[in-house]
Structure 1
């Protein structure tokens, strides 16, 4: 609504501005002002038909470089008429400036996460990406439809800044950006590398992998974009008794984290794994050792450990920290071609825990990328049978690229440049 009001005020200003110049033509024909053509004092002064004879006297008193310089002399009637129009224009211009300022303020304060998915045929940001993981390459895996890539997120109260890859690379030249988490964090990291590379497709880059750490470097910009596979965030250590999930320690990772300018964390899905998919044998906390415990409670303890590290080690003036909201999965996503309509406001218990922990922290220290609710409508964005497992299994957890994680990175970019 505010943007519409600003547009109306702008149109009114343009109309008044055009009216001022139209009045010159009308008033000249009615003799309300006189136009003199002033000859050079070095030339022979002549009376010009249609102009006042006073021009000859003025030309002798003034030294002009050109031989015929047009000058407008106003009569009182013209001055009064034009003053009224100019005053109107100035008032409308002031309103326009105030309105645009308020509109900018609205963009900086509106909730980017409340809105709707709208079709936009200018999307996606990229159609192919040479270093894309097979698990996310739905088109390469044979997905026949394309509509799922043509939706953008539209906040309800403002327009979100469109992603500009060159601007991102320039702003963060010489910086280090690190994603920490599970395969959903990998999903977002791959999305951002593809979005940035697409903006400078001939740029030189390196992609280096060592253990659970992958680093993509844009050499021209000296920008490092890394992913640290760490699905629990807290430490897993090997002991004589087996692998221990240590809920009150991040000592094994903090040195890596603290060497970055932007950090994006993610954790939850691996907390639900059991059996052979569970990468730990027992849980440790303080002097206690447990075979297992309530997973949601363990998740909350781990988040609080991470929060203590952030509170004690992060300088928000130097390092920007984000936590990716819990990415939703769906029980079945087969043959879904468009976003869901009328999604209920279900509150994921893990998301509630995450919001509670981050809500207890300094708001300038950590920002929540609140992607849970907006992503629940995108049942169409999962790989389904066009993921890593193909038709042997249906993937309704990860996301096709190009796709939904691109929007997460648009939100990341919008937040970074807004601050």
Structure 2
């Protein structure tokens, strides 16, 4: 329809020129009629654009309010009281794998840019499109978002091409939400957002991978002399000098104080012990951060029980009890939210929590070889209802329960389901973590393939596209 507008204007201009050349003027009645017709055509053709513009402007005035969003947990329709960003945790599939989640209604705009108020509930806002529900599509023209060889910060733990992975297909898949489009990552806009700020990723090695991905998405726009990365013990800091900004990673696999906080001793620690309700000493350094991205999951999964220290690690005789893993994890989540509530500024600090990162250790789960795993997998899982055994549904219930009862403004990045499909994106045997794999280990990928961590570039770039969308557009 918009193509009709330009011929109308051209005809109107031609009519005016013709009358002017003949020395005649249009009568007031004719001029008024033509002007009215053009005005009606503009409103009719561009009305939706005007509506979208004013809607977004109005929504930006309410960004400071806490929102209530719809949850898909157990296919329920109740609301979770979180921050202005929608979280839509994935349904907790039963052992037989239920039907895939329902597709969100088509949004009014082609890209999910802003939420729309749906009711009179206090802070009641529901986003038009669930960015976490969708499918993977092949996009060779726009992926990858950077090259492995061009980002000097990719560690050997994530550099699959450098360690001999024969294919690159895992780099060309793009996440496509149902009914809308994920906003493209704009590195220039993100750097402007970070100007004069501190952004921190806090958690385990999966969060480190997301941190490295984020740095790789940005570093190409920063002059080489004006960027640096330094590591000291459990801290890694990337600095963008011209923007007076830092992007930081802090190793804290449980978020609470533990016997695993010193990475130098990780291989020596066989029994994982967490100190009850204590955010570790690194948390003092988190204070003042403008954007905080937390994660913790995989380190908790050691069995049905977990060891909790009631006293101090310095005490000679330690009082250690065992808790159900789900109870221990809930204690950690509640402690984190209390810390956020006490140590962050509501109108200044943005806080995110990245959900469970799935593993793909048994290919029989998706119909493959019973002795296989993620090794030699080159395509995503196509079953929309797929949910692997590596992602504990009981932990998802804990996250849903704690976050639904919290009034702390924290945004949940529900990356679990979309990552479940990506059996092809793991580092497998194409990595070097503590030391290179031996020829004997390389010949036994069924035992030594890493089906927990992810190649870069790859899946975790999508995690950051979702983070970017929530941070700048929603």
- Segments of 5+ residues of structure 2 without an aligned counterpart are 56-107, 115-126, 261-270, 313-317, 362-372
Pairing of 1:13-162 with structure 2 (within 5 A): 13-23=2-12, 25=14, 34-36=19-21, 51-52=22-23, 73-75=25-27, 78-79=30-31, 82-83=34-35, 85-93=37-45, 95-101=47-53, 103=108, 107-108=113-114, 109=127, 110-121=129-140, 122-128=142-148, 129-162=151-184
Instruction: Using CA pairs under 8 Å that are at least 6 residues apart, name the structure with larger relative contact order, 1 or 2.
Output: 2
Which string of whole-angstrom CA distances, capped at 9 and with x for unpartnered residues, describes residues 109-140 of structure 1?
22211122112121111112212111100011
Deviation at 1:290, TM superposition (A): 3.1
Secondary structure of 1:18 counterpart: helix
Deviation at 1:75, TM superposition (A): 3.7
Which string of whole-angstrom CA distances, capped at 9 and with x for unpartnered residues, describes residues 183-215 of structure 1?
101110111111111233635222221111111
- Asked if 2 retains the 8 angstrom alpha-carbon contact of 1:303 and 1:357, the reply is yes
Aligned length in residues: 362
Aligned to 1:220: 242
In structure 2, relative to structure 1, the CA distance for the partners of 1:354 and 1:285 (3 Å cut) is: farther
Aligned to 2:77: none
> Partners of 1:83 and 1:298 in 2: how far apart?
70
Deviates more, 1:84-93 or 1:248-257: 84-93
> Partners of 1:248 and 1:27 in 2: how far apart?
78
Aligned to 1:399: 454
Pairing of 1:236-315 with structure 2 (within 5 A): 236=258, 245-250=274-279, 252-273=281-302, 282-285=307-310, 289-315=319-345
Picking from 418, 422, 426, the partner of 1:378 is 422
Pair 1:329-2:359 in alignment: yes
Picking from 463, 469, 473, the partner of 1:408 is 463
Aligned to 2:379: 338
Secondary structure of 2:248 counterpart: strand
TM-score by length of 2: 0.70
> Partners of 2:182 and 2:346 in 1: how far apart?
24
> Partners of 1:402 and 1:34 in 2: how far apart?
63
In structure 2, relative to structure 1, the CA distance for the partners of 1:285 and 1:344 (3 Å cut) is: farther
> Partners of 1:79 and 1:123 in 2: how far apart?
53
Picking from 331, 342, 348, the partner of 2:393 is 348
> Partners of 2:272 and 2:164 in 1: how far apart?
40
Secondary structure of 2:246 counterpart: strand
> Partners of 2:132 and 2:349 in 1: how far apart?
23
In structure 2, relative to structure 1, the CA distance for the partners of 1:159 and 1:306 (3 Å cut) is: same
- Asked if 2 retains the 8 angstrom alpha-carbon contact of 1:248 and 1:286, the reply is no
Deviation at 1:395, TM superposition (A): 0.8
Pair 1:196-2:225 in alignment: no
> Partners of 2:39 and 2:187 in 1: how far apart?
44
> Partners of 2:31 and 2:274 in 1: how far apart?
83
Deviation at 1:224, TM superposition (A): 1.0
> Partners of 1:201 and 1:401 in 2: how far apart?
22
Which string of whole-angstrom CA distances, capped at 9 and with x for unpartnered residues, describes residues 89-118 of structure 1?
143145233453464595312221112211
Which string of whole-angstrom CA distances, capped at 9 and with x for unpartnered residues, describes residues 367-401 of structure 1?
00110011101111111121225525101100000
TM-score by length of 1: 0.78
- Asked if 1 retains the 8 angstrom alpha-carbon contact of 2:386 and 2:421, the reply is no
> Partners of 2:310 and 2:155 in 1: how far apart?
36
> Partners of 2:333 and 2:280 in 1: how far apart?
14
Deviation at 1:176, TM superposition (A): 0.8
Which string of whole-angstrom CA distances, capped at 9 and with x for unpartnered residues, describes residues 158-188 of structure 1?
2222111122112111211111111101110
What is the alpha-carbon root mean square deviation over aligned residues?
Answer: 2.9
Deviates more, 1:365-374 or 1:92-101: 92-101
- Asked if 1 retains the 8 angstrom alpha-carbon contact of 2:256 and 2:279, the reply is yes
> Partners of 2:112 and 2:249 in 1: how far apart?
34
> Partners of 2:468 and 2:2 in 1: how far apart?
34
Secondary structure of 2:319 counterpart: strand
Secondary structure of 2:137 counterpart: strand
Secondary structure of 1:323 counterpart: strand
